[in-house]
Amino acid sequence: GVAFQHPDAFLSVPEREREERCWAANSTDLRQVDGASFIRCTLNIPVLGREHPFMWGIWAEVPEERLRFYWERFDRDLTTEQPFAGRIANEIPVYREPALGVPVLVRLGGVTARATLEVTAAHELSAQQREGVSDQWVFEVLHRYGIT
């Protein structure tokens, strides 16, 4: 898969201002930027004929109370919690349509698993989650990101 290390909003803050404008809770999975809250997630896409999905490691913008809930219970299995609404917080340039801001459902994970996303709007990502992608598509995406 392909992983984004930060939400796009974090990268838009000049480095010299990040200490003042950004919060990370000593975690690589939680961020706040100018009051907006983000959780690092995976968006899984089935690969036709394969057991394991292709995974986008992306960020979701979520309500602050959901970030706080997740942070306070980070070391627990949260798979039985109700999913909640969020929005994709990274632009994914392989898609014709913008991915940034696309609505998703966020499902919190187990102790060692990141939250997962389900696209809830009409978007190429939603179609791929339903229908899957080919090995060729995966190869082209990985090649585009310099992963071989």
CA separation for the pair 55, 4 (Å, rounded): 11
Query: What pTM was estimated for this model as a whole?
Result: 0.94
CB 137 within 8 A of CB 56: no
Residue ranges in the chain modelled with pLDDT below 70: 25
Residue 45 in tokens: 């896409």
pLDDT of residue 27: 79
pLDDT of residue 25: 67
CA separation for the pair 121, 102 (Å, rounded): 7
CA separation for the pair 41, 56 (Å, rounded): 8
- H or E element, residue 10: helix 8-11
Phi/psi class of residue 60: alpha, beta or left (left: φ > 0; alpha: ψ in -120 to 50)?
beta
pLDDT of residue 148: 73
Cβ contacts of residue 124 below 8 Å, gap of 6+? 95, 96, 97
- DSSP of 22-64, one letter per residue? EE-TT-SSEEEETTEEEEEEEEEE-BTT-SSPEEEEEEEEE-H
